[in-house]
A and B are shown apart, each in its own frame.
Chain A
């Protein structure tokens, strides 16, 4: 069994400020972890993924996430928010057979 918890359904940051979106997971097997971004009325785009190896993973658009097994976390960060980062972000976990469980999403608002 696997699950994902995203803390904060809405996060607001000022343009240029640090972005931190929180994600905690549970999985009965070693997890594969993903972050996706969704713009209004569009599908999901993969930002980054963790499978094995280096625990700090870098993705597109300047985002990165760190896998912390002891904390069962996979928080998404970006040093400096841009207006174009405003979207909804989904953390996801896969434990097998490509069946992915998504978190409830965090809507990021960037204030100019």
Chain B
């Protein structure tokens, strides 16, 4: 089946530093990947849609300058949290689909637990 790999699984960083999270589709190509954020005891909220070879599309309220997304190849998208603050601490999950249709289910990475101290 379609596999999405996310790295790292956990990261602790100091306030003011930047953190990069990678999302890879291991056995399929993904022109589009999605980044979600999940706060404790809450659902997943879509942050942005990552498009290969073009700029990401951000959801309302998400700071594009703070959450930098790069989708340089058909199998890799990266999310960089710049100048991280404690309120950025969260669980970040990426997803992708091997299909193009609207009914193609998303496959998710295992997520990255970010803790900003």
- Chain A residues close to B by CB (< 8 Å): 32, 34, 36, 41-46, 49, 51-52, 90, 94-100, 102-105
Contacts and interface: CB of A to CB of B under 8 A. Distances in A.
Given A43-B111, A46-B107, A98 B102 contact: yes
Given A52-B103, A95-B102, A97-B102, 19 more contacts: A34-B105, A41-B113, A43-B4, A43-B6, A43-B93, A43-B110, A44-B108, A46-B106, A49-B105, A51-B103, A90-B44, A94-B102, A96-B102, A98-B32, A98-B104, A98-B106, A99-B49, A100-B46, A100-B106
Nearest to B49: A99
A100 B108 CA distance: 12
Contact of A45 (B49, B108, B113): B108
A94 B73 CA distance: 25
Contact of B43 (A51, A98, A102): A102
Contact of B111 (A41, A100, A105): A41
A79 to B, nearest CB: 24
12 contacts: A43-B110, A44-B108, A46-B107, A49-B103, A52-B103, A94-B103, A95-B102, A98-B102, A99-B34, A99-B46, A100-B34, A105-B42
